[in-house]
């Protein structure tokens, strides 16, 4: 083929637009994907004599313990003040899940991870031992207890006092061992200096969708304007006498039911019944009354159930697991409207500051979270309504939703969006 017939093209770059890192006044940013960033500090642990130090990279300044996320590499260096007599240097990462029943005597231990590497060996490596040896060990993303495979669980500790009771501990650590040979003067093997530190394993997660806009009341009806971003759960507060009417409770929560532990959980709730029943209910409502100025009988809480099953057995058709339930968040209510046959409130549930992880399952340990709506009267006989409870499964994440997919010092691979929780039974 002849090239003489091909057209010619002008090489002019005068029409190429200029670009800037920040948008101009007439522009707007649609998305921002920054590269993952890691902390620039280091965590240092020294041996008692100061001859060996373990330095772990990519840590925040002044942290009490190193922190790692899902699939992170534990990177660092072993520094030796004296290398005389050293025959080998080894680094090891270990993780364990220990479950113990109090009373029944059952105990289960699972190795979550075990990785080790020899940084230097006198027989295999020529020359003297270096004074500084770097290493990198990647954490696994899952583990198996022999029956099932689970995501690697976060550092966690929970116990139930009494009999029966339990202790459940998930812990991780990294250690460096310096092996030394015999000395000509003492003619015996001296101790092998080992320096170790626990670390916190905190896999990051976030909701797949943001929290929705608040619901608005409909002026045509007594209810709220329905939105696909919100979902309603019904419960009935049963009247004790035939002269009173039951109260319909409608609790509205964001439809995803996946929330960050760093953000309040919004809700709306409406009580519908006759004017007589609503008036009788007011002293037991979610806001302070003369009956109990410092106590609420209608509450919305976030509950955490921690279940331990060491034996994984059935006795007379009943599982042998033991559990405890803790309140990890309490709602604040505010009156949002009322009418002849309805009362409406809105509010938020704030989680306790010591809550660091969401729910998970690992071996015989299961941690689940729920939102509970309850009305528990102080005197059930005198209260015109029976006790009422509604429990809704939720999932908690470590981080809030982000529009640009970026959270400071957290790589994209560290974050996952948990699935929507199962439906309540």
Residue range 343-363, pLDDT digits in tens: 999 999 999 999 999 999 998
Both structure tokens of 84: 């005389």
How high is the pLDDT of residue 411? 35
Mean pLDDT across the stretch 47-51?
86
Mean pLDDT across the stretch 166-175?
95
How high is the pLDDT of residue 101? 84
How high is the pLDDT of residue 186? 42
How sure is the predictor about 4, in pLDDT bands with cuts at 50, 70 and 90? low
What b/e sequence results for 330-355 when a residue is b if at least 16 CB atoms lie within 10 Å of its CB, and e otherwise? ebebeebeeeeebbbbbbebebeeeb
Mean pLDDT across the stretch 153-182?
90
pTM for the structure as a whole: 0.83
**Mean pLDDT for the chain overall:** 85
Percent of the chain with pLDDT over 90: 60
How high is the pLDDT of residue 409? 33
Give me Rg for the CA atoms of the chain. 30
Is the predicted pLDDT of residue 183 greater than 50, yes or no?
Answer: no
How high is the pLDDT of residue 17? 61
How sure is the predictor about 11, in pLDDT bands with cuts at 50, 70 and 90? low
Compute the distance between CA of residue 351 and CA of residue 260 in angstroms, rounded to an integer: 9
Both structure tokens of 52: 């060996």
Region of poorest pLDDT, from 88-97, 284-293, 412-421: 412-421
Cα distances (Å, whole numbers) of residue 34 to 39, 317, 404, 405, 407: 15, 54, 9, 9, 9
How high is the pLDDT of residue 72? 94
Compute the distance between CA of residue 172 and CA of residue 94 in angstroms, rounded to an integer: 6
Max Cα-Cα span within the chain:
103
Is the predicted pLDDT of residue 408 greater than 50, yes or no?
Answer: no
Region of poorest pLDDT, from 67-76, 250-259, 332-341: 332-341
Is the predicted pLDDT of residue 43 greater than 70, yes or no?
Answer: yes
Region of poorest pLDDT, from 5-9, 113-117, 182-186: 182-186
């Amino acid at each position: 083929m002849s090239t003489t017939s091909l057209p010619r093209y002008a090489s002019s770059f005068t029409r190429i637009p200029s670009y800037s890192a920040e948008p101009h006044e007439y522009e707007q940013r649609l998305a921002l994907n920054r590269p993952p960033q890691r902390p620039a500090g280091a965590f240092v642990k020294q041996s008692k004599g100061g001859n060996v130090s373990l330095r772990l990279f990519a840590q925040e300044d002044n942290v009490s313990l190193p922190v790692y996320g899902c699939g992170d590499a534990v990177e660092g260096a072993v520094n030796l003040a004296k290398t005389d007599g050293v025959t080998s240097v080894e680094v090891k990462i270990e993780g364990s899940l220990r479950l113990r029943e109090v009373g029944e005597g059952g105990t289960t231990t699972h190795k979550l991870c075990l990785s080790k590497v020899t940084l230097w060996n006198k027989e295999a490596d020529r020359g003297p031992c270096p004074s500084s040896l770097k290493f990198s060990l990647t954490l696994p993303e899952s583990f198996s207890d022999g029956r099932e495979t689970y995501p690697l669980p976060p550092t966690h500790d929970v116990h139930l006092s009494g009999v029966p009771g339990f202790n459940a501990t998930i812990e991780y650590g990294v250690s460096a061992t310096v092996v030394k040979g015999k000395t000509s003067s003492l003619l015996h093997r001296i101790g092998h200096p080992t320096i170790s530190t626990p670390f916190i394993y905190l896999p990051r997660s976030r909701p797949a969708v943001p929290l929705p806009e608040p619901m608005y009341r409909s002026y045509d009806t007594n209810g709220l304007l329905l939105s696909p971003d919100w979902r309603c759960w019904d419960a009935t507060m049963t009247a004790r006498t035939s002269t009173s009417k039951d109260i319909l409770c409608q609790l509205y929560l964001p439809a995803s039911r996946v929330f960050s532990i760093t953000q309040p959980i919004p809700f709306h709730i409406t009580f519908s019944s006759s004017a007589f029943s609503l008036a009788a209910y007011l002293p037991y409502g979610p806001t302070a009354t003369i009956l109990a100025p410092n106590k609420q009988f209608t509450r919305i809480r976030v509950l955490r159930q921690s279940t331990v099953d060491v034996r994984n057995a059935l006795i007379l058709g009943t599982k042998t697991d033991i559990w405890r339930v803790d309140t990890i968040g309490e709602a604040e209510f505010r009156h949002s409207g009322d009418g002849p046959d309805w009362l409406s409130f809105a509010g938020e549930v704030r989680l306790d500051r010591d809550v660091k992880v969401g729910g998970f399952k690992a071996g015989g340990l299961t941690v689940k979270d729920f939102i509970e709506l309850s009305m528990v009267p102080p005197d059930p006989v005198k209260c015109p309504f029976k006790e009422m409870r509604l429990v809704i499964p939720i999932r908690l994440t470590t981080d809030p939703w982000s529009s640009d997919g970026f959270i400071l010092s957290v790589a994209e691979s560290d974050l996952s969006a948990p699935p929507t929780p199962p439906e309540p039974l």
